[in-house]
A = this chain, B = another copy of it.
Amino acid sequence: MQHAMTIGRLAATAGVSVETIRYYQRRGLLDEPRKPFRGYRHYPPDMAKRVGFIKRAQALGFTLEEIASLLRLDGADCCADTRELAAHKVALIERKLLDLGAVRDALSALVRQCDTGQAEGLCPIISVLAQDGE
């Protein structure tokens, strides 16, 4: 590991800002290397991978809290927990997809109405989501 970096290089490598790195440290997602007696902290290159992990998990809809717990079970045999969390997210997303589809249909019906010039029905956006599903 001769390629230890400063925080600035780490941030650049990981594609985030220095402030974001520090924020993740405060949130407990990254640990802060010991500060040398004189000089700057140096970060191992793996840290950049960890930041990448965080960013990818975020893009999949995990909160920083959830990501922190994923990172805590990293490598452990708690695959089942991770699987549960992911499966739960999938279920949430499936519902969102259905509901979003309904809203899209209502809106595009409105657009079609406009195009065919029939001012008959009024747009019922509210009612397409009106049932207390969930």
Contact = CB atoms under 8 A, between A and B. Distances in A.
Nearest to A75: B122
Majority DSSP secondary structure for residues of A touching B:
helix
A97 B97 contact: yes
Give the number of times this chain occurs in the complex, counting copies. 2
A11 B88 CA distance: 29
Contacts of A117: 78
Given A53-B126, A60-B96, A74-B123, 18 more contacts: A49-B130, A53-B130, A56-B134, A57-B103, A59-B99, A61-B103, A70-B126, A73-B110, A73-B126, A76-B110, A77-B122, A78-B113, A83-B115, A86-B123, A90-B108, A93-B103, A94-B104, A97-B104
A70 B86 CA distance: 31
